[in-house]
Amino acid sequence: MLGRYMQHSVLVTGGAGFIGSNFVRLCVLERGIPVINVDKLTYAGNLGNVRDLEQKSGYSFLQADINDGPAIRDILRKFQPSAIVHFAAESHVDRSILGPDEFIQTNIHGTFQLLEEAKAYWNELSGTAKAQFRFLHVSTDEVFGSLKPDDPAFSESTPYAPNSPYSASKAASDHLVRAYHHTYAFPTLTTNCSNNYGPYQFPEKLIPLMIANGLSGKKLPVYGDGLNVRDWLYVTDHCEAILQVLQKGRIGETYNIGGCAEMTNLDVVNTICRTLDELRPRPDGTSHASLINFVKDRPGHDRRYAMDIRKIRNELGWSPKESFATGIRKTVSWYLDNSEWVESVTSGAYRDWMRTQYAGR
Protein backbone atom coordinates (compact mmCIF):
# COMPACT_ATOMS: atom_id res chain seq x y z
CA MET A 1 0.00 0.00 0.00
CA LEU A 2 2.92 2.37 0.68
CA GLY A 3 3.77 2.20 -3.00
CA ARG A 4 0.84 4.48 -3.77
CA TYR A 5 2.64 7.30 -1.89
CA MET A 6 5.52 7.00 -4.33
CA GLN A 7 3.25 8.56 -6.94
CA HIS A 8 1.14 10.81 -4.74
CA SER A 9 2.33 13.43 -2.29
CA VAL A 10 1.96 13.53 1.47
CA LEU A 11 1.17 16.86 3.15
CA VAL A 12 3.12 17.20 6.41
CA THR A 13 2.19 19.89 8.92
CA GLY A 14 4.98 21.05 11.21
CA GLY A 15 7.58 19.58 8.89
CA ALA A 16 10.26 22.09 9.89
CA GLY A 17 10.13 21.05 13.54
CA PHE A 18 12.07 18.29 15.25
CA ILE A 19 10.09 15.12 14.55
CA GLY A 20 8.39 16.52 11.45
CA SER A 21 11.67 17.39 9.75
CA ASN A 22 13.08 13.95 10.47
CA PHE A 23 9.92 12.44 8.96
CA VAL A 24 10.15 14.66 5.88
CA ARG A 25 13.81 13.72 5.42
CA LEU A 26 12.95 10.02 5.68
CA CYS A 27 10.20 10.35 3.07
CA VAL A 28 12.12 12.44 0.55
CA LEU A 29 15.70 11.21 0.94
CA GLU A 30 15.17 7.52 1.70
CA ARG A 31 11.76 6.58 0.34
CA GLY A 32 11.30 8.90 -2.63
CA ILE A 33 7.89 10.03 -1.34
CA PRO A 34 6.86 13.53 -2.52
CA VAL A 35 6.18 15.87 0.41
CA ILE A 36 4.41 19.20 0.80
CA ASN A 37 5.90 20.64 3.98
CA VAL A 38 3.60 23.17 5.67
CA ASP A 39 4.97 25.00 8.72
CA LYS A 40 4.17 28.27 10.44
CA LEU A 41 7.87 28.64 11.42
CA THR A 42 7.47 29.51 15.08
CA TYR A 43 10.57 29.48 17.33
CA ALA A 44 10.94 25.67 17.09
CA GLY A 45 10.34 25.51 13.32
CA ASN A 46 13.64 25.87 11.51
CA LEU A 47 14.18 25.73 7.76
CA GLY A 48 17.77 24.75 8.52
CA ASN A 49 16.37 21.33 9.45
CA VAL A 50 15.37 20.75 5.82
CA ARG A 51 17.75 23.05 3.95
CA ASP A 52 19.27 20.24 1.90
CA LEU A 53 15.83 19.27 0.58
CA GLU A 54 15.12 22.61 -1.12
CA GLN A 55 16.26 21.49 -4.56
CA LYS A 56 14.98 17.93 -4.34
CA SER A 57 12.39 16.84 -6.86
CA GLY A 58 9.02 16.27 -5.27
CA TYR A 59 9.66 18.49 -2.25
CA SER A 60 7.77 21.72 -1.61
CA PHE A 61 7.73 24.05 1.39
CA LEU A 62 4.95 26.51 2.18
CA GLN A 63 4.82 28.77 5.21
CA ALA A 64 1.27 28.65 6.55
CA ASP A 65 -0.63 28.45 9.82
CA ILE A 66 -2.98 25.48 10.31
CA ASN A 67 -5.42 27.98 11.85
CA ASP A 68 -5.64 29.72 8.47
CA GLY A 69 -8.45 27.77 6.81
CA PRO A 70 -8.34 29.50 3.40
CA ALA A 71 -4.57 28.96 3.13
CA ILE A 72 -4.87 25.26 3.97
CA ARG A 73 -7.79 24.94 1.55
CA ASP A 74 -5.75 26.43 -1.28
CA ILE A 75 -2.78 24.15 -0.55
CA LEU A 76 -4.93 21.02 -0.54
CA ARG A 77 -6.62 21.91 -3.81
CA LYS A 78 -3.35 22.85 -5.50
CA PHE A 79 -1.25 19.84 -4.46
CA GLN A 80 -3.96 17.15 -4.14
CA PRO A 81 -2.16 15.06 -1.47
CA SER A 82 -3.12 11.45 -0.83
CA ALA A 83 -2.45 11.80 2.90
CA ILE A 84 -1.94 14.35 5.66
CA VAL A 85 0.50 13.67 8.50
CA HIS A 86 -0.19 16.18 11.25
CA PHE A 87 2.79 17.02 13.48
CA ALA A 88 2.16 20.76 13.92
CA ALA A 89 1.79 21.48 17.64
CA GLU A 90 3.12 23.43 20.56
CA SER A 91 4.87 20.70 22.52
CA HIS A 92 6.90 21.93 25.48
CA VAL A 93 5.29 21.35 28.89
CA ASP A 94 7.23 24.13 30.61
CA ARG A 95 6.12 26.68 28.02
CA SER A 96 2.52 25.52 28.40
CA ILE A 97 2.70 26.18 32.14
CA LEU A 98 3.92 29.75 31.65
CA GLY A 99 1.70 30.52 28.65
CA PRO A 100 -1.08 28.05 27.81
CA ASP A 101 -2.89 30.28 25.30
CA GLU A 102 -0.76 29.30 22.31
CA PHE A 103 -1.25 25.62 23.12
CA ILE A 104 -5.02 25.98 23.08
CA GLN A 105 -4.90 27.96 19.84
CA THR A 106 -2.53 25.67 17.93
CA ASN A 107 -3.18 22.22 19.34
CA ILE A 108 -6.96 22.41 19.69
CA HIS A 109 -8.26 25.08 17.35
CA GLY A 110 -5.53 24.45 14.78
CA THR A 111 -6.29 20.74 14.67
CA PHE A 112 -10.00 21.51 14.39
CA GLN A 113 -9.40 23.90 11.48
CA LEU A 114 -7.15 21.38 9.74
CA LEU A 115 -9.74 18.63 10.19
CA GLU A 116 -12.44 20.85 8.73
CA GLU A 117 -10.41 21.64 5.63
CA ALA A 118 -9.17 18.09 5.22
CA LYS A 119 -12.69 16.69 5.53
CA ALA A 120 -14.00 19.14 2.93
CA TYR A 121 -11.14 18.20 0.60
CA TRP A 122 -11.76 14.47 1.14
CA ASN A 123 -15.46 14.90 0.40
CA GLU A 124 -14.53 16.36 -2.99
CA LEU A 125 -12.49 13.28 -3.88
CA SER A 126 -13.97 10.23 -5.54
CA GLY A 127 -13.13 6.65 -6.40
CA THR A 128 -9.66 5.36 -5.54
CA ALA A 129 -8.38 8.78 -4.44
CA LYS A 130 -11.08 9.04 -1.79
CA ALA A 131 -10.72 5.42 -0.67
CA GLN A 132 -6.94 5.72 -0.22
CA PHE A 133 -6.82 9.10 1.55
CA ARG A 134 -5.58 9.10 5.17
CA PHE A 135 -5.30 11.71 7.94
CA LEU A 136 -2.63 10.67 10.46
CA HIS A 137 -2.54 12.62 13.72
CA VAL A 138 0.67 12.48 15.76
CA SER A 139 0.15 12.70 19.52
CA THR A 140 1.90 11.92 22.81
CA ASP A 141 1.90 9.52 25.74
CA GLU A 142 1.38 12.48 28.08
CA VAL A 143 -2.38 12.42 27.39
CA PHE A 144 -2.56 9.32 29.63
CA GLY A 145 -1.26 11.07 32.73
CA SER A 146 1.23 9.62 35.20
CA LEU A 147 2.08 6.04 36.21
CA LYS A 148 3.16 4.67 39.58
CA PRO A 149 6.39 2.63 39.65
CA ASP A 150 4.61 -0.75 39.39
CA ASP A 151 1.73 0.26 37.13
CA PRO A 152 1.42 -1.47 33.74
CA ALA A 153 2.50 0.60 30.73
CA PHE A 154 0.04 2.76 28.85
CA SER A 155 -2.00 0.85 26.28
CA GLU A 156 -4.27 2.21 23.58
CA SER A 157 -7.23 1.67 25.93
CA THR A 158 -5.73 3.53 28.92
CA PRO A 159 -8.13 6.31 30.02
CA TYR A 160 -6.97 9.84 29.32
CA ALA A 161 -5.80 11.84 32.36
CA PRO A 162 -3.71 14.81 31.16
CA ASN A 163 -1.93 16.82 33.87
CA SER A 164 -0.51 19.87 32.06
CA PRO A 165 -1.95 22.47 29.71
CA TYR A 166 0.16 20.88 26.96
CA SER A 167 -1.11 17.34 27.50
CA ALA A 168 -4.68 18.58 27.95
CA SER A 169 -4.52 20.38 24.61
CA LYS A 170 -3.14 17.27 22.91
CA ALA A 171 -5.84 15.12 24.53
CA ALA A 172 -8.47 17.49 23.15
CA SER A 173 -6.97 17.23 19.66
CA ASP A 174 -6.95 13.42 19.91
CA HIS A 175 -10.65 13.48 20.81
CA LEU A 176 -11.43 15.74 17.86
CA VAL A 177 -9.69 13.36 15.46
CA ARG A 178 -11.57 10.41 16.93
CA ALA A 179 -14.87 12.30 16.68
CA TYR A 180 -14.33 13.20 13.02
CA HIS A 181 -13.82 9.53 12.22
CA HIS A 182 -16.86 8.31 14.13
CA THR A 183 -19.16 11.17 13.12
CA TYR A 184 -18.16 11.70 9.49
CA ALA A 185 -16.40 8.40 8.64
CA PHE A 186 -13.31 10.54 7.96
CA PRO A 187 -10.32 8.16 7.48
CA THR A 188 -8.14 8.99 10.48
CA LEU A 189 -5.21 7.31 12.22
CA THR A 190 -3.68 8.41 15.53
CA THR A 191 -0.28 7.64 17.02
CA ASN A 192 0.76 8.31 20.62
CA CYS A 193 4.51 8.34 21.12
CA SER A 194 6.89 8.39 24.06
CA ASN A 195 9.71 10.94 24.56
CA ASN A 196 11.65 11.46 21.34
CA TYR A 197 15.31 12.37 21.01
CA GLY A 198 17.80 12.65 18.16
CA PRO A 199 19.06 15.12 15.52
CA TYR A 200 17.46 18.56 15.07
CA GLN A 201 15.74 18.67 18.48
CA PHE A 202 15.35 22.21 19.81
CA PRO A 203 17.56 22.59 22.92
CA GLU A 204 14.80 23.40 25.38
CA LYS A 205 14.12 19.66 25.80
CA LEU A 206 16.11 17.56 28.27
CA ILE A 207 18.60 15.72 26.06
CA PRO A 208 19.69 18.52 23.69
CA LEU A 209 19.74 20.97 26.60
CA MET A 210 22.11 18.74 28.56
CA ILE A 211 24.34 18.28 25.51
CA ALA A 212 24.42 22.00 24.67
CA ASN A 213 25.02 23.08 28.28
CA GLY A 214 27.63 20.39 28.80
CA LEU A 215 29.59 21.50 25.75
CA SER A 216 29.45 25.11 26.99
CA GLY A 217 30.48 24.23 30.53
CA LYS A 218 27.13 25.41 31.91
CA LYS A 219 25.12 23.87 34.71
CA LEU A 220 22.95 20.87 33.84
CA PRO A 221 19.57 21.64 35.48
CA VAL A 222 17.74 18.50 36.66
CA TYR A 223 14.23 18.88 38.06
CA GLY A 224 13.48 17.66 41.60
CA ASP A 225 15.24 14.43 42.54
CA GLY A 226 15.81 13.44 38.90
CA LEU A 227 13.93 10.18 39.34
CA ASN A 228 11.04 10.90 36.97
CA VAL A 229 10.91 8.05 34.45
CA ARG A 230 10.36 8.32 30.72
CA ASP A 231 10.39 5.86 27.82
CA TRP A 232 12.92 7.16 25.28
CA LEU A 233 12.33 6.76 21.54
CA TYR A 234 14.95 7.57 18.89
CA VAL A 235 13.33 9.90 16.37
CA THR A 236 14.06 7.88 13.22
CA ASP A 237 12.47 4.82 14.83
CA HIS A 238 9.41 6.97 15.46
CA CYS A 239 9.32 8.15 11.86
CA GLU A 240 9.58 4.59 10.56
CA ALA A 241 6.65 3.64 12.80
CA ILE A 242 4.53 6.50 11.44
CA LEU A 243 5.16 5.29 7.90
CA GLN A 244 4.11 1.80 8.95
CA VAL A 245 0.87 3.14 10.40
CA LEU A 246 0.27 5.21 7.27
CA GLN A 247 0.91 2.14 5.15
CA LYS A 248 -0.91 -0.59 7.05
CA GLY A 249 -2.81 0.93 9.98
CA ARG A 250 -6.52 0.27 10.34
CA ILE A 251 -8.69 3.34 9.79
CA GLY A 252 -9.99 4.83 13.02
CA GLU A 253 -7.40 3.07 15.19
CA THR A 254 -4.73 4.45 17.51
CA TYR A 255 -1.23 2.99 17.88
CA ASN A 256 1.23 3.48 20.73
CA ILE A 257 4.85 4.00 19.69
CA GLY A 258 7.61 3.62 22.27
CA GLY A 259 11.33 2.98 22.50
CA CYS A 260 11.21 0.22 25.15
CA ALA A 261 13.81 2.25 27.06
CA GLU A 262 12.49 3.41 30.45
CA MET A 263 15.05 5.51 32.31
CA THR A 264 15.10 8.12 35.05
CA ASN A 265 16.00 11.63 34.00
CA LEU A 266 19.10 11.42 36.19
CA ASP A 267 20.25 8.23 34.45
CA VAL A 268 19.72 9.93 31.09
CA VAL A 269 21.82 12.93 32.14
CA ASN A 270 24.58 10.73 33.54
CA THR A 271 24.65 8.71 30.31
CA ILE A 272 25.03 11.93 28.32
CA CYS A 273 27.82 13.05 30.64
CA ARG A 274 29.73 9.78 30.19
CA THR A 275 29.31 10.02 26.42
CA LEU A 276 30.56 13.61 26.38
CA ASP A 277 33.47 12.63 28.63
CA GLU A 278 34.49 10.11 26.00
CA LEU A 279 33.81 12.10 22.83
CA ARG A 280 34.62 15.66 24.00
CA PRO A 281 36.52 15.64 27.34
CA ARG A 282 36.53 18.82 29.41
CA PRO A 283 39.81 20.79 29.31
CA ASP A 284 40.34 20.42 33.06
CA GLY A 285 39.79 16.66 32.94
CA THR A 286 36.74 16.68 35.24
CA SER A 287 33.58 14.80 34.32
CA HIS A 288 30.63 16.60 32.81
CA ALA A 289 28.64 15.06 35.66
CA SER A 290 30.16 17.68 37.98
CA LEU A 291 27.91 20.20 36.20
CA ILE A 292 24.67 18.50 37.33
CA ASN A 293 22.54 20.93 39.32
CA PHE A 294 19.26 19.85 40.94
CA VAL A 295 16.64 22.59 40.64
CA LYS A 296 13.11 23.11 41.93
CA ASP A 297 10.66 20.73 40.29
CA ARG A 298 8.14 22.03 37.81
CA PRO A 299 4.42 22.12 38.76
CA GLY A 300 2.45 18.93 38.11
CA HIS A 301 5.52 16.96 36.97
CA ASP A 302 4.33 13.47 35.97
CA ARG A 303 6.36 10.77 37.68
CA ARG A 304 6.49 8.02 35.07
CA TYR A 305 5.48 7.27 31.49
CA ALA A 306 5.78 3.87 29.80
CA MET A 307 4.35 2.56 26.54
CA ASP A 308 2.91 -0.85 25.71
CA ILE A 309 3.73 -1.29 22.01
CA ARG A 310 2.32 -4.79 21.50
CA LYS A 311 -0.43 -3.56 19.18
CA ILE A 312 1.85 -1.92 16.61
CA ARG A 313 4.34 -4.77 16.90
CA ASN A 314 1.75 -7.50 16.42
CA GLU A 315 -0.42 -5.78 13.81
CA LEU A 316 2.13 -3.85 11.77
CA GLY A 317 5.44 -5.58 12.50
CA TRP A 318 7.19 -2.50 13.88
CA SER A 319 9.60 -2.39 16.81
CA PRO A 320 12.40 0.08 17.62
CA LYS A 321 15.80 -0.58 16.10
CA GLU A 322 17.82 1.67 18.39
CA SER A 323 18.58 0.98 22.03
CA PHE A 324 19.09 4.01 24.24
CA ALA A 325 22.83 3.30 24.25
CA THR A 326 23.11 3.37 20.46
CA GLY A 327 20.62 6.21 20.01
CA ILE A 328 22.18 8.54 22.55
CA ARG A 329 25.64 8.04 21.09
CA LYS A 330 24.32 8.92 17.63
CA THR A 331 22.56 11.96 19.11
CA VAL A 332 25.58 13.31 20.99
CA SER A 333 27.76 12.76 17.91
CA TRP A 334 25.27 14.66 15.74
CA TYR A 335 25.29 17.68 18.07
CA LEU A 336 29.09 17.61 18.17
CA ASP A 337 29.21 17.59 14.38
CA ASN A 338 26.56 20.31 13.97
CA SER A 339 27.62 23.10 16.30
CA GLU A 340 26.61 25.74 13.74
CA TRP A 341 23.01 24.47 13.80
CA VAL A 342 22.96 24.65 17.60
CA GLU A 343 24.34 28.18 17.54
CA SER A 344 21.77 29.26 14.96
CA VAL A 345 18.79 28.11 17.03
CA THR A 346 20.01 29.28 20.44
CA SER A 347 19.26 32.91 19.64
CA GLY A 348 18.65 35.81 21.98
CA ALA A 349 15.00 34.76 22.28
CA TYR A 350 16.11 31.30 23.38
CA ARG A 351 18.48 32.73 25.98
CA ASP A 352 15.70 34.96 27.29
CA TRP A 353 13.46 31.90 27.65
CA MET A 354 16.15 29.99 29.56
CA ARG A 355 16.58 32.85 32.00
CA THR A 356 12.81 33.02 32.53
CA GLN A 357 12.44 29.28 32.95
CA TYR A 358 15.31 28.60 35.37
CA ALA A 359 15.67 31.92 37.23
CA GLY A 360 15.26 31.35 40.95
CA ARG A 361 15.30 27.57 40.70
In the annotation, is 166 catalytic? yes
189: enclosing H helix or E strand: strand 188-193
DSSP for 40-80, written as a single string:
---TT--GGGGGGGTTSTTEEEEE--TT-HHHHHHHHHHH-
Confidence at residue 42, expressed as pLDDT on a 0 to 100 scale: 83
In the annotation, is 150 catalytic? no
Residues in the chain: 361
In a domain, 342, yes or no: no
In a domain, 287, yes or no: no
290: nearest Cα among 305, 269, 317, 308? 269
Instruction: Give the separation between CA 287 and CA 41, rounded to whole angstroms.
Output: 37
Instruction: Give the separation between CA 114 and CA 296, rounded to whole angstroms.
Output: 38
Instruction: Give pLDDT tens digits for 216-243.
Output: 999 999 999 999 999 999 999 999 999 9
In a domain, 143, yes or no: yes
294: number of Cβ within 10 Å: 14
- pTM: predicted TM-score of the whole model, two decimal places: 0.92
In a domain, 26, yes or no: yes
Confidence at residue 39, expressed as pLDDT on a 0 to 100 scale: 96
For the chain, how many structural domains are there in total? 1
Confidence at residue 301, expressed as pLDDT on a 0 to 100 scale: 87
In a domain, 242, yes or no: yes
In a domain, 178, yes or no: yes
- For residue 151, what is the domain's CATH number? 3.40.50.720
**Residue-range definition of the domain harbouring residue 137:** 2-201+234-260+304-321
Catalytic choice (121, 166, 197, 223): 166
Average pLDDT by stretches of 10, the chain with 361 residues: 57 97 97 96 86 94 97 97 96 76 94 98 97 98 96 98 94 98 98 97 91 96 96 98 97 98 98 98 97 91 95 98 98 95 71 50 51
Confidence at residue 198, expressed as pLDDT on a 0 to 100 scale: 98
In the annotation, is 141 catalytic? yes
Enter the DSSP assignment of 304.
Answer: B
Instruction: Give the separation between CA 127 and CA 115, rounded to whole angstroms.
Output: 21
In a domain, 61, yes or no: yes
In a domain, 218, yes or no: no
Confidence at residue 264, expressed as pLDDT on a 0 to 100 scale: 98
- Cβ neighbours of residue 261 closer than 8 Å, sequence gap 6 or more: 231, 232, 233, 320, 323, 324, 327
Catalytic choice (39, 141, 231, 302): 141
